[in-house]
Amino acid sequence: MAVQAANDTLTDADRALIVQEVQQLKQGINDIADNTEFNTIKLLNIGAVTPPPTTTLDIAISANERKTVGYIEVKPGGTSLLEIFCDFSAMGNADYPDLNIVGPNGEIYGYVGSYLKSSSAQTINNLPSASSGTYSGHGSKIESFIFHDPKPGKWSIIIDYTANGPTADMTLNSNYSLNLPGTTPPTVQPPESLIIQKGPNAGHRMELELTDARTEALGIDGLDLSSREGADKAIALLDAASGKVSSERSKFGAYMNVLEHVQNNTGAYKESLTAAESRVRDTDIAKMSITLSRNQLILQAAQSVTSQANQMSQGILELLK
């Protein structure tokens, strides 16, 4: 597709369609890198990853206070629906605060802004940061915003408490990860290699170096095929990424060959050890049969000689009579 987009026989509209398909392909590459795992160990993604998201926050706000209580980072290619709910049930039947949302373009949804500020439930299409938005719950225990196709970026959450009542306790919920203002979402660094114990003794091990096969690590995350110049640069980036993928596949192929040789050697070792154990533990039937036959012959011969000796002594006694 990069080669096609590098030709001026394609129009800008044609390239726009190619860009859409490339976005889907990159998402597919990232899905493979993120989901390829063994026993929960990521094999193709050694970059920093975000731990399971916090989708519920307990918030307290004082009377006559307006403050940002949290934010949500919407990533490119995320879900097509952003839901934000605020539960004021802990306040009883008090004068409830207002929930407001600031989109990534800076527009404000709710009573302190210009969008979705009606006291009745409503849905508006073609919002600055979403294809549509729905608001409901003014003056009730549950107040909510739902945005379809939210734009990537930072969505801030503002609570406006204009009453003179006591401190308001509430619970914030979302289908996205909720973060406290002024903080950076924590990350966890997964292992960059695996240690395989390949023998029965200490030190009999090998190290398997993992890799990062996401588009960002391959250098193709920022491909721009919307112009001929961008497509020409993309060809070089894709060539380099293809070389890296081939190199990593060769590395993992070498690991597989080593482990297959270890397996074959272990199988031969096991067979030899079993044979040695059987020689020590099991009876040699042929040898024992021959020994038994020989002992029986010796016994029979001894009995025969004894019988003949007795007969001779009896014969001599008969002659002396």
Superfamily, domain 2-47+191-257 = f41 fragment of flagellin, N-terminal domain (1.20.1330.10)
Q: Where are the domains of the chain?
A: 2-47+191-257, 56-174, 286-321
What pLDDT, on a 0 to 100 scale, did the predictor assign at position 241?
Answer: 93
42 touches 32 (CB < 8 A): no
Question: What is the pLDDT, as a whole number, of residue 321?
Answer: 64
Fold of domain 56-174 = Jelly Rolls (2.60.120)
Do the Cβ atoms of 208 and 262 come closer than 8 Å? no
Position 312 scores a pLDDT of 75
Strand locations in 29-129 (E): 37-38, 41-42, 56-61, 65-74, 81-87, 98-102, 108-109, 122-127
Quote the pLDDT of residue 276.
87
**Distances, alpha carbon 255 to alpha carbons 80, 133, 200, 262, in Å:** 40, 52, 19, 11
Determine the pLDDT at residue 79: 65
Express each pLDDT in 265-275 by its tens digit.
989 989 998 88
Question: Is pTM, for the whole model, over 0.85?
Answer: no
Is residue 61 a contact partner of residue 67, using CB atoms and an 8 Å limit? yes
- pLDDT at 50 (0 to 100): 67
List, for residues 203-236, the tens digit of each pLDDT value.
Answer: 888 999 889 898 988 989 888 898 989 899 999 9
Low-confidence ranges of the chain (pLDDT < 70): 49-50, 52, 77-79, 93, 320-321
